[in-house]
Each structure stands twice: as C-alpha cells, then as structure tokens.
A and B are shown apart, each in its own frame.
Chain A
Amino acid sequence: MRAFVSFAALVLFIPFLVKNPYYLNVLAFIGLYAMVTVGLSLFIGYAGQISLGHGAFYALGAYISGIISARYGVSPWVTIPLAISLTTLLAWGLGLLILRLRGHYLVMATLGINLVVYLLLVELDGLTGGVSGLPGIPPLCFGDYCLVTDRACYYLIWAVTLAVIFLALRLVATRPGRELKAIRASEAAAKALGLNVTRYKVAIFTLSAALTALAGTLYAHYLTFISPKTFDVFYSIEVVTMVLIGGMGSVWGAVFGAAFLTPLPQILSFFEEYKDIIYGFILMVILVFQPEGLCGIGKKWKFFKRQMSIISF
C-alpha cells in the first residue's frame, strides 16, 4: 500500500513539474494504456490466457460512446456508462463462447474478433465515418467547465487509472486473486479443489474487456476524434507486449510496461527511419535476456542489495 500511495503522489505532482502539453499528452496516454494493461495482466498473468483481441473492446468503447454523443448530442456522462455496459455484455457473451479454446486457437479467435471489428469500422462508413474517422466527439464537462486541456485530461485519466490499479491490487491480494493464481499454476489442480475454472476465466476476461472499453471511452472524449487505425491488431499486440515487458502476473509490472513502451516510439523518433528497427530490437533484447520483465530487474536488485548487506555485515 505504501508503494501505491507514493505512486499516487508522484502522479499528482508531475503536472507541477511538467508544463509542456505534449509531454502531458504522452503521460495521459500512459494512463490510458495502464488501465488496459492492468486488466490484461490479470487475464494473462493470473488466468494464464492470451488475448490478441482487446483492440476490439477499445474500439467498441470509443465508437459506441463517440457515435451516440457526437451524432445525437447525448451527454458523454450517459454514453460512457452505456458504451462500457454494452461492450462488457458483448465481451461476456464472447468469453463464454471462446474461452473453451486453448493456446493458439484462443489467440486466433481473439485475433479474428479484433480483425472483424476493425474491418467493420472501416466498411460501415455511414455509421463510423470509415477510414477518415469520426470527428466532433464532445469532451467531458462538469457544468460549464469542460475537460479540454491536456492537463485536465491528464488528471481525469490518471484518477481513473489509479482507481483501477488500487482495485486490481486489492483483487490480487484477496481470495479471487489467489484462486486465479491457482488456476494459472495448474488448471487441473484448481478444478480438483472445486474451482469453477471456466467461470473465473470468463469473469476475468469480461473485467479486462470492461477496463479496456473504459479506456476507449476516455480516449474518444479526450481526443474528440477517432479513426479505425488506432484499433487494429497492432494495438492488441502492443498491450500484450507491454504486459510481458513489464512482467507477467504483476499489477505494477503492467503499469511499468505501459510507462516504458508508450513513450518509447516518441523517444525513438529521434532516430527517424531507424525507429522501427531499434524498437523491435529493444523488444527482442528485453524478452530474450529479461523474460521476467522490467519488474524482475527491481526484484533482482533488492535480492542483490540484501546479499551485499549480509556480506558487508
């Protein structure tokens, strides 16, 4: 809990140091990604399943809320919960169907869902605006005060992200978290102990989809413009990569993964055309030499310090 409080304090104070709206924008995006990776890390790291389809839920959250509020003038305060509920319901239905699949087959099914949703966004241009995107999504407003600056959105997004992190930490520390860990360790053993494995998998899949839809709605009302490109399979691959780079099966790992990989393309844009080569290379190096993720480095360092203090004593 101390870690959480210091992290929250850090998040709160950053805007006092960083005034540049572009940096605040990148930092807000870290929050949007962290919301998704925390949920996904529960699904991957605790339930032991893989989804390459979360881009679809991100898209559904953004587009449902975006279309209804932009086209029919409904307040985002109504459309956001609506979009999240509809996406969650759909994810639950899909989860019941596809979570019977295993390994690569589950990967393909989730990929297929993402591809279908992406292609529909492109093809149904009467509804979604097609490839050219959907403009004119209203921002979130409190009375007359609308969240339009990067700073205001930074605070909104991080307030939600901190709440998500807090709930995830609680979930992991309590009974459902331990039961999920048991499923990851051995499905057979978990079944033998009387756990309803499928129900847990579906529940955690639905939860992570709901968090992704939430991030999607915030994304839409923050940028006020969305286009299909954001929601292709690369998004789904990117968030899973963040979870792995941060360290599977750790809530903080998921946050670190998002904090490391979100700004990386921006930092690497310094290298111009070599950017993709370097990005791919960094991913390979970390996963080859540090498969426990960046979080693992911290643990190793703690272990090393303890060893050193024993020796020097």
Chain B
Amino acid sequence: MEAVVFFQFLLSGLSAGAIYALIALGFGVVENATGIVNFAQGDFLVLGAFWAYSALASWHLPYPLAFLSAVCFAAMVGLLLDRLVLSRARSREILILVFITVGASIFLRGLIKEIWGKRPISLPPFGGDTPLKLGPLTIMPQTLWILGVTFLAFALLHLFFHRTKWGRAMRAVAVDPEAAALVGIPVPWMVALSFAMAGALGGLAGVLITPVTPLSFESGVMMGLKGFAAAILGGYGHFGGALLGGLLLGVLEGLSAYFVSSAYKNILAFALLVLVLLIRPQGILGFGVKERL
C-alpha cells in the first residue's frame, strides 16, 4: 500500500515536472537567442490558459481548435513583446533588458486581471476524467497527456534545431550573433522567432496544466519561478537540461510532499536547488564557463 502511495506522489511529481520542463524550455530558447531571462514567461502560460478558457466557454470552439488557438495566441504575445518592446530598447545591457520583461510581466498581469478578472479558472481535462487503472495504480488521463505532449514537444524541437535550416540558423545565433549576422542570418528575425516559440511553449504549458491546477491571473509568477529554477537546475540554455531539471524539480517536490509534508515541499525544493548550485555552479548539464586569465 505504502509503495502505491509513493508511486502516486512520484507520478504527480513527474507531471508537474513536465510542465516545469516546458516553461524551462521557453526560458532556454530566449536565453540562447538573446542571453536574457524573460520574466514574462510565466504570464505566457496564464495567457494561454485564459484564452483557451474563453475559446471553450464563450466562443464554443471545439477542443483541439481552442487549445491550438491558445498556443498561437501566446506565441503572438511573445512575438509582440520582442518586436514592440525589447527590440526598441536603447540599451543592450542584459540587466536592463531583463527588467524590461519584469515591467512587461506586471503589465500583462494587469491586463489579464482587467480582461478575465481575479477568479481562478479551470479547464476540462483532454481525455475525460475517468481514471485509468494500472494494477493498484490510478492514473488520470491528463497526466499521460501532459507527459506525452511534453516529450513530443521536446522531440519536435530537437528535430527543428538539428534538421531544419531555420533551427540551425537559430543555433548559430546562440553561438555567436555577430558571426551569424555576417553569414547572412537575419538575427532580429531569429530573436523574434525565439520569443514566439517561448510564447508557444508557455501557452502549451498553460493549457496542459489548467485541468490539473486551476490558474489565476497571478499564478504566472510562481510558475515562472519554478520554470526558471528548473532551467537553472539543468543548466541554463541547455535543452536536455531543461527537461532533466524540470522532471527533477517536479519529482523533488512530489517526494518532499510524500516524505515531509506538502507545506514544506516548496521550501525543500528551493533549498535543494541552492545546494545543487553550490556544488555545480553551472547546473547539472550546463557548460562551465572557462575563466580566461
């Protein structure tokens, strides 16, 4: 019996971790193109979820269309954040750019509150709510959807970055923007594309998690922090690291909820994160920065 409860906690940890991984991936895409932390990443998630909610409840769109349009909408917001705001910044200093996204995050939160109100929303699960029985284990279909879609997203992105011209161009920008510009890659467009992808990943995470955890206009802050923590844990800007960091953070939370208490799960998760950084300052899979002197 104990083992069953343990696996149940592990499973819920894994599904939360998959969401963190998606958010972490959004952070990573932007990091590679620009080197900045996008504090609005969590708000993309909330925007996607609320759009899907309106699409389903008010406009009566069919399921797949509602979710797809939510992902596209979040991608659009990401694109606009880059084109309308960040690309116009007079300073290229990382810290300034990062805090422009902090302003954008406050702006977006205000907007979400204005349009959709303060009440938390929930979405119906994709695969209905009849739990699947797997021996003694009970699995909600949504958990499988979350894990499946997350792995699919990672696989598709991997193919995109390694097999397509655009993906390779984006990787070139990540390595050296100036050299990329010299060989004719339109760097500003690659940056815009990366923000759109970050938005899409956020929106995807939003529609996936809302059936499990209701979201309110300010949920983006905590989700963003968790995603950022996952990205750092795995190695910032490293895609495999994002997946590993996300799942690890989720499992860590699930296990501390099991072994200690759910009240302390966040404390333990963040304390362990700081500890990991002290042992591996560049995250688990991160590339160490060589000191040149």
A residues whose Cβ falls under 8 Å from a Cβ of B: 44, 50, 97-98, 100-105, 107-109, 111-113, 115-116, 119-120, 123, 188, 191-192, 233, 237, 240-241, 244, 248, 273-284, 287-292
Contact = CB atoms under 8 A, between A and B. Distances in A.
Nearest to B103: A283
A120 B104 CA distance: 29
A274 to B, nearest CB: 7
Interface of B: 31, 37, 85, 88-91, 93-96, 99-100, 102-111, 113-114, 221, 225, 228-229, 232, 236, 263-264, 266-267, 270-271, 273-274, 277-278, 281-283, 289, 292-293
B89 A287 contact: yes
Given A192-B293, A284-B103, A291-B89, A108 B114 contact: no
Nearest to B91: A291
B200 to A, nearest CB: 22
Contacts of B267: 115-116, 119-120, 123
Contact of A273 (B104, B113, B274): B113
Contacts of A120: 267
B113 A104 contact: no
B82 to A, nearest CB: 12
Contacts of B105: 280
Contacts of A290: 90
Contacts of B263: 123
Contacts of A113: 274
Interface of A is mostly: helix
Nearest to A287: B100
Contacts of A280: 103-110
Contacts of A100: 281
A105 B274 contact: no
Contacts of B91: 287, 291-292
16 contacts: A98-B274, A103-B94, A104-B37, A107-B37, A109-B274, A109-B277, A112-B270, A119-B264, A241-B103, A244-B96, A273-B113, A277-B107, A277-B110, A278-B110, A283-B107, A288-B89
A119 B225 CA distance: 14
B100 A105 contact: no
Contacts of B90: 288-291
Given A98-B274, A105-B283, A120-B267, A188 B99 contact: no
A129 to B, nearest CB: 16
Nearest to B89: A288
A252 B293 CA distance: 35
A97 B96 contact: no
Contacts of A241: 99, 102-103
